[in-house]
Copies of this chain bind each other. A is one copy, B any other.
Amino acid sequence: MTDSSAILLAHCPDQPGLVRAVAGFIHDHGGNIIHFDQHVDSARNVFFMRAEWSLEDFTLPQGELAAALASRVTGPFEMNWQLWMNDQRPRLAILVSRDHHCLYDLLSRHEAGELAADIALVMSNHPDLGTAATRFNVPFFHLPVTAATKPAAEAAQLQVLRDHGVDTVVLARYMQVLSPTFVARYPDRIINIHHSFLPAFPGARPYHSAHARGVKIIGATSHYVTDELDEGPIIHQDVVKVTHKDSVADFIRKGRDLEKIVLSKAVWFHTRRRVLTYHNKTVVFD
């Protein structure tokens, strides 16, 4: 039984009194702060914060919380803000093509209860991974995508997402580029895994490029998807050493281990409401 808590994510121009205002609001209504993280980007004069407080003795009804916060804190300080209850579970759709390592990693974490989210469905432009989804009792949708059918296919995909109440899309080695129309529907809520240490080796076949260049370390990068390919805000990265002995196939094999861990960490941070985006970068309160 996890206790009930509220989470406020916010950013605004920095000024004196911000911490006090938030902490005072929480305290005035009987809340006890569990986590309080703040960060000031002094170059841009922006204040970022994440506060989580227990609702056990909180005197404001949940239905009045947002309005009270807005009138007393986030409004006066002109905050860009999100308020979440810790029991609001994100509903995820996982989009895949043919590689299954990231998919299985997410499905098994989900089964273990690690993600604090529900996997509503798995969707693919290929039929291959239907078995994987079905094994874990997750609905699978096979929607082929070709250059010619892409607008219609994306419309169908979006309809499925809507029908299933999906609020976050995870691209778990999904090998199609999403259109700006699709991306605009899920701003800062589409998480991709790119199989390189961005900004090195964007685009296709990064392991081949890394091998040709003779790098001694390869990486993987999870990021929010924007209209610029592989240019969105980076959430998490990790790397592994390689040597001259490693072929492209070894890079791919070692890279798979990175990809699945890096993507799952990004999903974990996102579903725990620990990520803020700003100026194409992220603040990750870990």
Contacts and interface: CB of A to CB of B under 8 A. Distances in A.
B244 A215 contact: no
Contacts of A160: none
- Interface of A, helix, strand, loop or mixed by DSSP: mixed
A34 B40 contact: yes
A255 interface: no
A256 to B, nearest CB: 8
Copies of this subunit: 4
A86 to B, nearest CB: 14
12 contacts: A16-B27, A19-B19, A23-B23, A33-B40, A39-B245, A43-B247, A104-B104, A213-B234, A214-B234, A216-B235, A257-B264, A261-B261
Interface residues of A, number: 70
A20 B184 CA distance: 39
Given A19-B33, A100-B111, A257 B247 contact: no
Q: For the complex of A and B, list the 3 residue pairs with the smallest distance between their C-beta atoms, beginning with the closest.
A: A214-B281, A20-B23, A19-B23
A1 to B, nearest CB: 14
B34 A36 contact: no
Contacts of A236: 216
A233 interface: yes
Contacts of A237: 215-217
Interface in A33-64: 33-43, 48
Contacts of A31: 16
Contacts of A14: 32
A39 B244 contact: yes
A198 B200 CA distance: 7
